[in-house]
Every structure is written in C-alpha cells, then in structure tokens.
Structure 1
C-alpha cells in the first residue's frame, strides 16, 4: 500500500487518523502548517491547503489523501483538487451530511472531486460530539444558556470518524461511496448537557436562549452570516425532525458506534 497524506492532521479527527494509520504500520505523511510544533509520531511536512502551490512536496509519492477542507468557503479548492489529482490516485474527503440542504462549500468540493479523475469516498458525518466543547466554560459555571434545547442530535465521536476514515483508506470496495456517519442514539441538547454533568459529577442545568440573542453571539465567534443562519435553522429543525441515526459505523467497523456518554468520559477533563 502506498503512502497516505493526512490533512488537518492536528485537528480533532485528523490526529486520530494519523495515530490509527501509524499504529497499523502504514506509511503516513501529515500535512501541517508548523511541523516543529505538531509533535506527531509520523513524517510531517509543511503545507497549507489554501495555498495549492505548497502541496507539491507533500504529495510526492502519495497514493491516497485524507482531505479535510478548512473554512466555510471554497476559496481555491479547485486548484487544490487539481494538484491532488496530479499526484494521488484516490481521496477520502471529510464532507458533511448536507445532501438535502442548500448549497454549501461541501457540495462544491464534492463536485470538484467527482470530476477530478480521482477515486473518491465521501464521509458525511452529522453533528460532532466535539462541538459541545463550546459549552465547557458554561458547564463549569453550572448553567448552559443556548438555543433549541429540545433539538435532538445523533452526535458522533471523532474517534469513530477517524476509524472509518482509516478503514476506507486501507481497504477496497469504497470508491464512489458516500457514507453518512452518526452516533448510535438521539439526545436533545438539554440531555447532552445533563449527561456531561453526570459524567463529571456536577449538576448542570439548561437555560433556553432566544435564537436572535444566540445569533449575535455566534456572529461574533464565527463571523459568517450564512453559516450562522444555517446552524440555527438546522437546530430548529431538529426540534421537530430529529437528526437521523445510521448504522454505518457498525457496518463498516463491525462494532457499534461509541455513545455520547463514552465521548463525555473521554473528554471529562475538558469540562472540569
């Protein structure tokens, strides 16, 4: 098996992809912006997906790419896909479960990859359990003030996304597949907060926040009106139409997806 390039290698998912592939004894190269600070147990090379010309050295002798696109716009994604297709044979793209939603940068990057000549697999996770780390400061105070407490999600552990990515990168039969990945259960946002409190041994209550107030706060944090409005619309929809649960993790890995409680145990120190 040829060398695998992992982008986003220091992020929530990428670092687990790197470690799982490395532990399997595979040739792994990590694309990072600062190799000196990355401290990864594999070969690292400096590069930036938003500057396609920096990818040439990273792609030398690479057969497969795990691709995680940074940001909320396509930017120079067309140039990036062209450079990858010039060197590699296949790409596993960490997309999102937005097939039925209005056009996003994920749709455009998927289109670019489909027409690139690369073999491809798209991983389309729903909500990331790791996104609840944004509540950490409030959880330490005992109250989470956020909108749409009854929005029901099937949040997925980043380790499961990474495990699926590693499996797809190292086994046959996945070209042209688009896998929707979720956790094994539906929990409302208020239930997620309560469960985190149980795991860390602290009572934490939910306080409903008006959507417009939340929008102001999210705009200050994210800065992209379309992304903020899309998130709020999605959370509101999940109140009456809960996020789907799939068995994709079980089918691909031969074990159940990790629960949100397990994720909370793994991250208990982040909330304490």
Structure 2
C-alpha cells in the first residue's frame, strides 16, 4: 500500500471525502492547495497550482499515489504535470466524458504506469442547488422534471477512489459509478420533502425561461445550452444503473434518500407549518 498519497481538489465535493477516508486507512495524506485552507490536523497541506507545473515539486516529492481532479475545461498543461506525477493516479473524470476529460484520460493512460479512471454519473450533491427554493416555499421551479438520473453519493465515489489508491488490482480500470436507483428530478424533490417532513413539489417551467434565468446569473451560454440539452435527453427513460460501487467496495451504494437525510439541514423550511 502506498505510504504517502496526494489529494488534489481536497476541499471539493469528492476530494474532502477522499482525504477523510484515506486518513482512516492510516496512510500519510498530503493536500495540494492554491491558497491556505483549513485541513484536518493529520493532513499535510502543500501550496501549489496545477496550472503552474514548476510550483508542484514540493507537492509531488515522496508521493506514491495521486487523486487527481483536473479543474480546467481543457487538458492543456496536463501532460507537463504528468511528467512529475506519481506512478499511481486515480483520475476523477465523468460519465459524460467531455472532450477535455477524454483527452485527459488518454494522456494519463499513456503517461502513468498504474492509472484508474472514475466516471461518476450525476452527484447527489447537485440537489443542493434547490435548497434555497425548498427552504423558501417548498416548490422547485425548473424544466425537465422527468429527467432521470442515477445519482451517486460523493462518499461512494471517494470510497472507490480510496480502494484504487491503496489497493492493487485496479490499474487500467475505468469505473462507471452510479447510485442504486434511477430517479427523475421531480422524484428527487419529493424524496427531499419526505425526509424533511415538509412537502416539496415540482413546478414545471419552460426551458426558455430557465435559459434566460441562468444567463442572467452569469452562466456561459455554451454551458447553459449543454445542461438543458442533457436534461432533455434524460427524459427519454430511466438512467443506467451500475453495480460498480458495490463490486469495488463490497458495500452497497448509498441511496439518494440517505444522502438527503444527511443533508436535511440544508433544506429545512425557513418557516415551518404550525
């Protein structure tokens, strides 16, 4: 088992759980950060920027494995970073395998002796975008309520990553990760309502209205159109479900309901019914 592992994206949705679960295995954990951040006392924080390869020498020194989050919309610069990276890399890609992710996967496959690719489907944590609407009135107003997703808990993504970082037998694997069920967006908000004990309903709006609102919030038009197009495609039927989480970790994948219960505080109504 590698004795020192570097986590990039250590304060992110998945990275913070990778860091926590690695600590439980007893390995030395190092976190790459661009700015000073609060880290668990047992984690060694090292400053560096993935966009500046010359800043990474201290981060990679003595490291035997890396959890890699590449936070850019292009794979440009990754090849230089891989030249100083450890021999074992677990890369967080996505099930969508966007162009820059595919290019990153190819570069890693050519440059890293022991690589593992994680392709998670939609994160359960994406539901947090509805928190303000749910707290304020118990109604989520968006298009494509019938868009189906097999939401995966971020802890499960991290658990698979930790197995690949610390155990043999995962090199050369591409893991497509989902939760155990396909749920439409309307079903997701219903589950949240059941968990918090306060009814939450879906109110369908037009894609055109949603697009205008997202653009008004400063989202790039290309990203907005990509999101809405993907959601429209998801209305065609149930989302695919894989057993990969259980196969790798020997533990069943967590349900969306369990995720919602963990995060119920984020959705609690501002004013409860008497």
Q: TM-score, normalised by structure 1?
A: 0.92
Runs of 4+ displaced beyond 6 Å: none
Which whole-Å deviations, capped at 9, do the CAs of 1:54-106 have from their partners, x for residues lacking one? 2111000011100011133334333323332xxx111100000125xxx5211
The yes-or-no answer on 1:90 pairing with 2:88 is yes
Instruction: Please give the alpha-carbon distance, in whole angstroms, between the structure 2 residues aligned to 1:57 and 1:186.
Output: 43
Instruction: Please give the alpha-carbon distance, in whole angstroms, between the structure 2 residues aligned to 1:162 and 1:219.
Output: 32
The yes-or-no answer on 1:187 pairing with 2:183 is yes
Check whether the contact 2:89–2:112 (CA below 8 A) recurs between aligned residues.
no
Instruction: Please give the alpha-carbon distance, in whole angstroms, between the structure 1 residues aligned to 2:184 and 2:11.
Output: 29
Of 135, 139, 142, which aligns to 2:130?
135
- SS of the equivalent of 1:57 reads helix
The yes-or-no answer on 1:114 pairing with 2:109 is yes
The yes-or-no answer on 1:145 pairing with 2:141 is yes
Q: 1:253 to 1:7 in 2, by over 3 A?
A: same
Q: 1:72 to 1:218 in 2, by over 3 A?
A: farther
Alignment: residue pair count: 265
Check whether the contact 2:82–2:112 (CA below 8 A) recurs between aligned residues.
no
Instruction: Please give the alpha-carbon distance, in whole angstroms, between the structure 1 residues aligned to 2:264 and 2:103.
Output: 37
Question: Who is 1:160 aligned against?
Answer: 156
Identify unmatched segments of 5+ residues in structure 2: 269-274
- How big is the shift at 1:121? 0.3
Which whole-Å deviations, capped at 9, do the CAs of 1:4-29 have from their partners, x for residues lacking one? 10000011111111111112111110
- SS of the equivalent of 2:188 reads helix
- How big is the shift at 1:111? 1.3
Check whether the contact 2:189–2:202 (CA below 8 A) recurs between aligned residues.
yes
Question: Who is 2:53 aligned against?
Answer: 52
Which whole-Å deviations, capped at 9, do the CAs of 1:177-236 have from their partners, x for residues lacking one? 100000000110001011111111211111112112222333445633333222212111
Question: Who is 1:40 aligned against?
Answer: 40
Matches within 5 A, 1:227-246: 227-246=223-242
Identify unmatched segments of 5+ residues in structure 1: none
